[in-house]
């Protein structure tokens, strides 16, 4: 199901498959936009929830939109905020991919005393993680916020469940997500007409359904064909609870049904082995905070697997982080220097490690695209995973 394509946006094209680095609050932490461009990033993804709270989506609107505000000359995405708002509700685990084998009861989630969000059929009421103030997101508010932020690609507001929820709750959440999808399309159409003269912002629907085949297929069928007042989704995000062991299966259920001529984004997935699974099952774009988040803790991806630069074995290692990497960090610095700046808590440690990790992941997906065009994806995958998995067992801390 793997495919090569181009997504055209008002800020330029994205050659797919592509990895989209995350700049949650309109910045990829510690890295200049020029450096992101140089390492091959074609687009950046920010978060509507965070930008709504600070500085406020009206500020971005006044600034001329997200790309201009953050000095990024290229395409941008915004996530709807549904995941962030609802993960406040879950309160105890802020990750998409979770272990399906652990307890699965709605009351564990609902009974959490620290929960900061309450969902009803109309929307979500939540408490700001910044100052405790109360806010309400509805599909309409999410569309208004994302139109003000002005990214080229936006996501519909959905109810994001976890693998801990029961099957009846997953069904309820999916019905709600469908009702919200219609409201998002209507409000998106209204805002597009109202904000005449602004570049068209594409809206992607989000496919939920957790680990259930019938629910995933129903969501793909319903949202894939949905039209409201002549408006349909421009693409799709595959979201929600994704059991990593079943990632390929879940994604293929959905992509076999979604319209072939529209882009598909796999939300929150970015580990090397998962990217292969996503690409071969027909996903076009990916985003994940992991590459930059782990970089700031000195963890780097290499062909020898993932390791920590602060480990003392690198004190006198004058080789690059990854001898096969062409990034700015690997062509100018050694592991010994990286070890030194991490141990000394120097700010440049985050910058250099993030540049390397983002380059590693962006380039890996670029290589998948090239392999698809050359007709040797299977060989490229076997070669990469053979070396990556083989060595990672040996050099992990």
Catalytic sites, residue numbers:
79, 287
Comparing CB distances to Zn ion, the nearer of 203 and 327 is 327
CB of 270 to Zn ion, least distance (A): 16
Q: Output DSSP code: residue 309.
A: T
Helix (H) or strand (E) holding 202: strand 202-207
| Residue partners of 190: CB distance under 8 A and separation at least 6 | none
306 binds Zn ion (CB under 5 A): no
CB of 307 to Zn ion, least distance (A): 13
State which of residues 109, 250, 254, 330 lies at the interface with Zn ion (CB under 5 A). Answer: 330
Peptide bond into 17 cis (omega under 30): yes
Stretch that binds Zn ion, among 74-82, 96-104, 120-128, 321-329 (CB under 5 A): 321-329
Cβ-contact 265, 238 below 8 angstroms: yes
327 binds Zn ion (CB under 5 A): yes
39 binds Zn ion (CB under 5 A): no
CB of 308 to Zn ion, least distance (A): 16
Q: Output DSSP code: residue 314.
A: G
Comparing CB distances to Zn ion, the nearer of 42 and 329 is 329
295 binds Zn ion (CB under 5 A): no
β-pair partners for 237: 206, 265
HEC per residue, 264-299: EEECCCCCHHHHHHHHHCCCCEEEECHHHHHHCCCE
325 binds Zn ion (CB under 5 A): yes
Vertex 270, ends 356 and 390: CA angle to 5°?
75
Residues in the interface with Zn ion (CB under 5 A) total 5
Locate 351 and state its tokens: 């910058």
Measured in degrees and rounded to the nearest 5, phi and psi for residue 231 equal -100, 130
Nearest one of 240, 293, 289 to 82, comparing CA atoms: 240
Comparing CB distances to Zn ion, the nearer of 38 and 186 is 38
338 binds Zn ion (CB under 5 A): no
Vertex 179, ends 176 and 184: CA angle to 5°?
115
Task: Name residues contacting Zn ion, limited to 194-253 (CB under 5 A).
Answer: none
> Mask of contacts with Zn ion, 157-186, x by CB under 5 A?
------------------------------
The 3-state DSSP composition of the chain as helix, strand, coil percent (nearest 5) reads 45, 15, 40
CB of 319 to Zn ion, least distance (A): 12
Cα gap 124→136, rounded to integer Å: 6
CB of 355 to Zn ion, least distance (A): 7
Cβ-contact 236, 153 below 8 angstroms: no
Sheet of strand 134-137: strand arrangement: 117-119, 124-127, 134-137
CB of 293 to Zn ion, least distance (A): 17
CB of 357 to Zn ion, least distance (A): 8
Stretch that binds Zn ion, among 83-91, 119-127, 305-313, 323-331 (CB under 5 A): 323-331
Cβ-contact 368, 15 below 8 angstroms: no
356 binds Zn ion (CB under 5 A): yes
Residues of this chain that interact with Zn ion (CB under 5 A) are 325, 327, 329-330, 356
């Amino acid at each position: 199901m793997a495919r090569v394509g181009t997504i055209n946006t008002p800020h330029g094209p994205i050659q797919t498959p592509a990895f989209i680095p995350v700049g949650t609050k309109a910045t990829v932490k510690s890295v200049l936009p020029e450096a992101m461009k140089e390492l091959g990033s074609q687009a950046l993804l920010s978060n509507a929830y965070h930008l709504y709270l600070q500085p406020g989506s009206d500020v971005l609107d006044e600034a001329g939109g997200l790309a201009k505000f953050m000095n990024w000359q290229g395409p941008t995405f915004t996530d709807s905020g549904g995941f962030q708002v609802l993960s406040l509700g879950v309160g105890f685990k802020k990750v998409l991919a979770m272990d399906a084998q652990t307890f699965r009861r709605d009351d564990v989630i609902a009974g959490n005393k620290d929960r900061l969000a309450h969902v009803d059929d109309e929307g979500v009421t939540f408490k700001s993680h910044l100052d405790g103030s109360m806010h309400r997101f509805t599909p309409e508010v999410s569309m208004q916020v994302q139109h003000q932020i002005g990214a080229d690609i936006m996501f519909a507001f959905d109810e994001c469940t976890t693998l801990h929820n029961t099957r009846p709750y997953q069904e309820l959440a999916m019905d709600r997500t469908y009702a919200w999808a219609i409201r998002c399309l209507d409000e998106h159409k209204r805002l597009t007409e109202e904000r005449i003269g602004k570049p068209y912002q594409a809206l992607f629907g989000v496919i939920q359904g957790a680990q259930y085949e019938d629910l995933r297929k129903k969501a793909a069928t319903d949202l894939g064909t949905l039209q409201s007042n002549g408006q349909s989704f421009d693409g799709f995000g595959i979201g929600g609870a994704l059991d990593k062991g079943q990632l390929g299966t879940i994604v293929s259920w959905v992509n076999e049904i979604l319209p072939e001529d529209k882009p598909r984004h796999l939300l929150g997935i970015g580990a090397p082995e998962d990217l292969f699974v996503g690409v071969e099952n027909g996903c076009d774009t990916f985003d994940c905070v992991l590459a930059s988040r782990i970089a700031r803790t000195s963890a780097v991806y290499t062909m020898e697997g993932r390791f920590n630069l602060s480990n003392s074995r690198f004190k006198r290692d004058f080789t690059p982080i990854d001898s096969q990497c062409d990034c700015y960090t690997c062509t100018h610095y050694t592991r010994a220097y990286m070890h030194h700046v991490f141990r000394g808590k120097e700010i440049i440690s985050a910058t250099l490690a993030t540049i390397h990790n983002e380059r590693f992941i962006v380039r890996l997906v670029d290589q998948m695209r090239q392999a698809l065009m050359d007709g040797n994806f299977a060989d490229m995958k076997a070669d990469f995973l053979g070396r990556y998995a083989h060595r990672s067992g040996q050099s992990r801390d």
